[in-house]
Structure 1
């Protein structure tokens, strides 16, 4: 919020007006210095921008080079903008690895003003400052190393050493400024919020799209924070989703071999089907048998496209006489899910 003021000078000579450091936050003034002609006037603008809710009173001091001072009382009240999210939690259904699933929600602006919003990675400006300092330290180390290795540039006679240091300092200063915004904005390898920033018109709303792109077969949960102009605190949004691996299944859970002859080789066909939307690879997992004997599988590995099915040939033989139960296991490579059936 801004307001205009006028300084008049009723003297016969021109004087200089100084405002600069004579007003405290959340108020600011522009221009901070100026000249007032004899009998003339000068307009300046006072801005009020508070990061917290409450009433604020400050004094604006106008100092003249003649030693005179004028004190202006400033008063401002900051309130919470009526801007809110339709949902504070988004749950996205199971999604196959490598594919995308979308969900959406609204941000409502019930004020009479245009408000800006931006999705942040951290919950508040205090955490932002800590992260910025960490970035500065990291870049400062890189900058110091780069300044010391100016040999290639010097050999090519491009710049002298002191000029090289100036160039490096400027480059890394620009990099820090650019990286600040990139690092502090929300970003995640599995979730995207679109748009990531924008403005909402008075008494209006904007639709936000959440895109889920799992790269693993596991549960995912992240938090994003909506930084809204006019809101004292960032609004948290929790997003959850489940990554689904290839949907491969065996045609049996238990295989009863019945009475078999010791030392003889017995064969069984095991069918694997892919009823999901992405391809998958399943391989046999050899293991030591508690009953003794040996289980072999041909082939060792199968690759199945969606709606495909293929067959493993399992062979079993043992020199031991008696009842037996053995778990035969297979591994889905993409999701590390174990499939198994009982051979008895």
Structure 2
């Protein structure tokens, strides 16, 4: 591009063209850090095979140079005002960096570097001399003169390598406002791995894996140390390696989508020399229309310790092999989150991460790819579990086979074992994670576990009135009406009357169809009404059987043959004895003791004949057999003149004190001798 201007030479007018900014710089340069150059394998291979001059000729892009220092324009020029921003140099170098490559040691190479004045006024620029054994810079002859706007000045950079390796240098320029640099690189030997720019995978089923094998050869002139990385659902093996010049290896790229749709990711090939090369990976994922034969099953009622069997089938109508795995989790996300709970390291952040991921997962199912593979490694024995069988959390359902594959146009039959551990109602859902279907196939189940069926010959016994101290025996027949053995244990409540029961046997195992006689003994030393529930606990039954005993513990019945003991008048110091009979009208022996209320605990009354053989005891104890009587002698020997109105109390052992009493009446009189006769005086 040029503008015409008239110039008179030798009296003739001649058109002259004014130079403007070259075509490659019609727009403002893009900052280098904001524009990443992406090289495909073919472009990188072609670029590395170019000579220095060919690469220089193919350079099209420019970016602003890096400013090293800002100068005080008042000290360098009178043109202090500039139309160029402060973050941009007054001169734009072309090219933005110089690259020498495929050079021969001791040969001299040169490249021209042009600096364009991007300001609206003439500006001065000079090169800052730097010592280098390999690089040198030569400027124009009139290097001290100013450069007009939109005009350029050319510098020549010479390079003389001594060996095949990388060299780095910077050419520093000084303008009236700043110092900036232009980097110079000399690229030594490089590895070049031939790789496809784009790898297209054929249609893949959800949760299936497609593989592509890429033969990779080092066609460069240096050994290759490389790394290969990509993002899910793509993966690459090996992820790193070393190839000598001319050597080759196979790289396997896998495509494992878990949701349907189209996928596009980059495969990054990173060389140890710093270059990054990008290949494109593309794939499409589809979902099969596949379902279980039924989505709900009702399991037969099953006794605990026994098992019932149910079968379901799954048919593969596609032309691909389908892999399946049964699980208790509805999705892979829930499974991974469950495994996170097993890690003590992640336990504190579990709730926060769980809520956040579940919220995001609803709008972006591919979020599952972001969960680290570490969570899968935390699964307790997952590898062995998948190879053996599936056991649900409540351990009542076993499914076989739990993992495997279904061949095309074939069906797989699954056997479900229902083995309840408790007599209760079970229900839940298990899921089949299968290739070709995005969501896991649910299978709802319900079933009832039955425990041993024991039956009592009666559930309530009314004992009515029972005597204290009497051993009452009862028998109950416990029969097994079920189809499994029934271990049981009989226990009583820890109450006053509950502790009065004993059993024989208190525990046993009744085979199916059999029965057991249990002997129950009630022996109480306490009177009063009672109602006690004996607990028959059956292993495997959540609810025990209740055997109720009701009744009232009463005192033994007895009476005296007299209404009272009346001694009448007794002489002072002379004993007097009366007899009475105590009749036991109950059916149990009665242990009793007698005492006279108010008789005191002092020294007993005695006579010269020792009226009572043993009066040192406060009361007298004895036993009267069932339906019998005993004769009681009561002796009164008074040493005090007084009237007696007392009571003889009967205490029954184990029942209470003063259960019955017999009144005692007496009066002790004292005989006073008459006065001595008086005698008169004898003469």
Q: Same fold (TM over 0.5)?
A: yes
> Of residues 383, 395, 399 in structure 2, which corresponds to 1:181?
383
- The answer to whether the aligner puts 1:115 opposite 2:322 as a matched pair is yes
SS state at 2:381 partner: helix
The unaligned stretches of length 5 or more in structure 2 are 1-209, 346-376, 551-683
In 1: Cα distance, 2:538 partner to 2:511 partner: 14
Q: Which residue of 2 aligns with 1:339?
A: 545
Give, in whole Å, the separation in 2 of the partners of 1:293 and 1:36: 91
Aligned-pair Cα RMSD in Å? 4.8
Q: Contact 2:228 / 2:236 at 8 angstroms: preserved in 1?
A: no
Q: What are the equivalent positions in structure 2 for 1:98-247 lying under 5 Å apart?
A: 98-130=305-337, 179-182=381-384, 186-188=390-392, 189-221=395-427, 223-247=429-453
For 1:221 and 1:197, the matched residues in 2 are separated by 22
Matched with 1:300 is 506
Other-structure match for 1:286: 492
- The 1:61/1:18 distance shift into structure 2, 3 A limit, reads farther
Inter-partner Cα distance in structure 2 for 1:132 and 1:286: 46
Q: Is the 8 A contact 2:260 2:286 kept in 1?
A: yes
Q: Secondary structure at the match of 1:126?
A: helix
> Given the superposition, is the C-alpha separation of residues 326 and 69 from structure 1 closer, same or farther in structure 2, using an over 3 Å criterion?
closer
Match of 1:49 in 2: 256
Counterpart of 1:141 in structure 2 is none
Local SS of the residue matching 2:228: coil
Q: CA deviation at 1:193?
A: 1.3
User: Is the contact made by 1:36 and 1:42 (CA closer than 8 Å) also made in structure 2?
Assistant: no
5 Å matches for 1:31-42? none
Aligned partner of 1:154 in structure 2 is: none
Pair 1:52–1:34, CA change in 2 (3 A): farther
TM-score by length of 1: 0.64
TM-score by length of 2: 0.36
SS of 2:258's equivalent in the other structure is coil
> 1:271, 1:309 within 8 Å by CA — same for their partners in 2?
yes
Following superposition, the deviation at residue 206 of structure 1 comes to 0.8
Equivalent residue number for residue 68 of structure 2: none
Among 254, 259, 273, which residue is 2:479 paired with? 273
Q: CA deviation at 1:126?
A: 3.4
Structure ID, larger Rg: 2
Matches within 5 A, 1:245-264: 245-253=451-459, 263=467
Find the residue that maps to 2:306 and give its secondary structure: coil
Q: Would you tell me which structure has more helix in proportion to its own residues?
A: 1
Q: Higher relative contact order at CA 8 Å, sep ≥6: structure 1 or structure 2?
A: 1
- Secondary structure of the residue that 1:84 maps to in structure 2? coil
Q: Deviations over 1:264-309 (max 9, x none)?
A: 8765543221011222233433348999996665443443111102
Q: What is the DSSP-based 3-state SS (H/G/I as helix, E as strand, rest coil) of the residue aligned with 2:513?
A: coil
Q: 1:80 aligns with which of 276, 287, 292?
A: 287
Structure 1 CA distance, aligned partners of 2:472 and 2:443? Answer: 58
CA gap 1:299/1:132 in 2 versus in 1, 3 angstroms:
closer
Note closer, same or farther for the CA distance 1:192–1:93 as it changes in structure 2 (3 Å cut): same
Q: Structure 1 17/26 Cα, relative in aligned 2: closer, same or farther at 3 Å?
A: farther
Residues 18-29 of structure 1 mapped to structure 2, 5 A cutoff: 20-21=227-228, 23-29=230-236
- Aligned residue for 1:225, secondary structure, equals strand
Q: Does the aligned pair in 1 maintain the 2:325–2:434 contact within 8 Å? A: yes
Mapped to 2, the partners of 1:215 and 1:305 lie a distance apart of 18
Residues 85-134 of structure 1 deviation map (CA, whole Å, 9 limit, x = unaligned): 23334432332222222222112323221111122344433344445556
Q: Is the 8 A contact 2:211 2:252 kept in 1?
A: yes
